[in-house]
């Protein structure tokens, strides 16, 4: 019996508890990652001078560059999958 069939056969109150438990774990992971990524911005290790602030790249430029890399990796993965199936 698969995991999903096992869960579907349980009473409704048990399925709701499983749903809330899974949701809580996912939210804890998301919040932990969020706190981990902004920790350096909120509590910097050194004082930032005005010169360093002006010379740093804009957040939109960083987002665009990282988005481009992610998109290229995604397209490369899709092409690899297509190649594996011989299309």
Domain limits at 9? 1-48
Give the pLDDT of residue 73. Answer: 86
| pLDDT tens per residue across all 87 residues of the chain | 798 899 989 999 999 999 999 999 999 999 998 888 887 666 666 665 655 555 677 778 888 888 888 888 888 888 888 877 765
Alpha-carbon dihedral 41, 46, 49, 53, rounded to 10 degrees:
-30
5, 35: one domain: yes
Residues 36 and 66 grouped into a single domain:
no
Q: Does 36 lie in the same domain as 2?
A: yes
**pLDDT in the model for residue 43:** 65
pTM of the model: 0.43
Residue 44 sits in the same domain as residue 3: yes
**Do 43 and 74 fall within a single domain?**
no
64 and 34, same domain (yes or no):
no
Q: How many structural domains is the chain composed of?
A: 2
Report pLDDT for 17.
96
Opening angle at CA 61, ends 41 and 26, nearest 5: 55
């Amino acid at each position: 019996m698969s995991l999903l069939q096992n869960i579907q056969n349980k009473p409704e109150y048990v399925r709701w508890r499983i749903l809330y438990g899974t949701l809580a774990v996912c939210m804890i992971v998301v919040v932990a990652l969020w706190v981990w990524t902004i920790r350096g911005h909120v509590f910097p290790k050194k004082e930032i001078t005005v010169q360093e602030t002006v010379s740093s790249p804009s957040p939109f430029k960083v987002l665009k560059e990282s988005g481009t890399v992610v998109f290229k990796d995604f397209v490369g993965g899709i092409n690899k999958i297509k190649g594996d199936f011989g299309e």
